[in-house]
Amino acid sequence: MEGTMKAGSVETPKETQQYKVFPILFAMLLSGFIGLFGETALNVALTPLMSLLEVGPTTIQWLTTGYLLVLGVLVPVSGLLLQWFTTRQLFTTSLVFSIAGTLVAALAPSFEILLLARVLQAVGTALLLPLMFNTILVIFPIEKRGAAMGLIGLVIMFAPASGPSISGLILANLSWHWIFWISLPFFVISLICGLLFLPNISKLTKPKIDIVSIVLSTLGFGGIVYGFSSAGGHGEGGGGWTSPIVIGTLLIGVLSLVFFSFRQLKMKQPLIDLRAFKYPMFTIGLILVFISMMLILSSMLILPMYLQQGMAVTALTAGLVLLPGSLLNGLLSPIMGRLFDKFGPKWLVRIGLAIVAIVLFLYTSINPGTSLGLIITLHIFMMIGISMVMMPAQTNGLNQLPPAYYPHGTAIMNTLQQVSGAIGTAVAVSILSAGQMNFLKGVADPADPANQLAGFTSGVQGAFVFAMVLAIVGLIAAFFIKRVNVGSGAKSDTPMH
289/76: higher pLDDT? 289
Give the whole-number percent of the chain exceeding pLDDT 70.
88
pLDDT of the residue at 51: 75
In this model, does residue 359 exceed pLDDT 90? yes
Q: What is the DSSP-derived secondary structure letter of residue 10?
A: -
**What's the average model confidence in pLDDT over 109-115?**
88
Nearest to residue 296, comparing CAs of 421, 410, 389, 418?
421
pLDDT of the residue at 8: 39
Give the whole-number percent of the chain exceeding pLDDT 90.
15
Nearest to residue 305, comparing CAs of 385, 226, 228, 233?
233
Superfamily of domain 17-207: MFS general substrate transporter like domains (1.20.1250.20)
Q: What is the DSSP-derived secondary structure letter of residue 311?
A: S
Phi, psi of 312 (to 5 degrees): 60, 40
Give the best-scoring range by mean pLDDT among 158-162, 328-332, 349-353: 349-353
3-state secondary structure of 2: coil
- Cα(464)–Cα(299) distance, integer angstroms: 8
**What's the average model confidence in pLDDT over 210-233?**
80
Determine whether 369 is exposed, middle or buried from the number of CB atoms within 10 Å of its CB (0-12, 13-18, 19+). exposed
User: Is the alpha carbon torsion for 32, 286, 415, 470 positive or negative?
Assistant: negative
Q: Judge contact between 222 and 253, C-beta under 8 A.
A: yes
User: pTM score, two decimals?
Assistant: 0.75
In this model, does residue 1 exceed pLDDT 50? no
In this model, does residue 14 exceed pLDDT 60? no
pLDDT of the residue at 134: 77
Give me the helix-helix angle, 211-232 and 244-266, nearest 10°: 150
In this model, does residue 57 exceed pLDDT 70? no
Nearest to residue 264, comparing CAs of 225, 221, 210, 218?
210
If you average pLDDT over every residue of the chain, what do you get? Answer: 79
- Cα(492)–Cα(140) distance, integer angstroms: 18
**What's the average model confidence in pLDDT over 289-316?**
80
Q: Judge contact between 308 and 314, C-beta under 8 A.
A: yes
pLDDT of the residue at 10: 41
Question: Which CA distances in Å does 185 have to 22, 127, 438?
Answer: 20, 20, 50
- Cα(470)–Cα(196) distance, integer angstroms: 45
In this model, does residue 144 exceed pLDDT 60? yes
pLDDT of the residue at 235: 40
Least confident of 78-82, 111-115, 330-334: 78-82
DSSP 405-449: GHHHHHHHHHHHHHHHHHHHHHHHHHHHHHHHHHHHHTSS-TTSH
Q: What is the DSSP-derived secondary structure letter of residue 16?
A: G
Angle (CA) 389-393-397 rounded to 5° is: 175
**What is the torsion angle, in degrees rounded to the nearest 10, for the CA atoms of residue 164, residue 167, residue 171 and residue 176?**
-110
pLDDT category at 13 given cuts 50, 70, 90 is very low
Least confident of 112-121, 362-371, 424-433: 424-433
HSE toward the beta carbon, residue 96, CA cutoff 13 A: 7
pLDDT category at 492 given cuts 50, 70, 90 is very low
pLDDT of the residue at 232: 59
Q: Judge contact between 150 and 342, C-beta under 8 A.
A: no
Question: What are the tens digits of pLDDT across the range 423-473?
Answer: 787 788 778 877 888 888 877 777 778 888 888 888 888 889 999 999 999
Nearest to residue 390, comparing CAs of 408, 416, 425, 364?
416
- For domain 278-483, give its CATH number from 1.20.120.1200, 1.10.1040.10, 1.20.1250.20, 3.40.449.10: 1.20.1250.20
Question: What are the tens digits of pLDDT across the range 175-202?
Answer: 888 888 988 999 999 898 888 877 777 6
In this model, does residue 302 exceed pLDDT 50? yes
Least confident of 12-21, 136-145, 239-248: 12-21
pLDDT of the residue at 56: 67
Least confident of 204-208, 218-222, 423-427, 435-439: 204-208
**What's the average model confidence in pLDDT over 237-265?**
82
Q: Which amino acid is at 295?
A: L
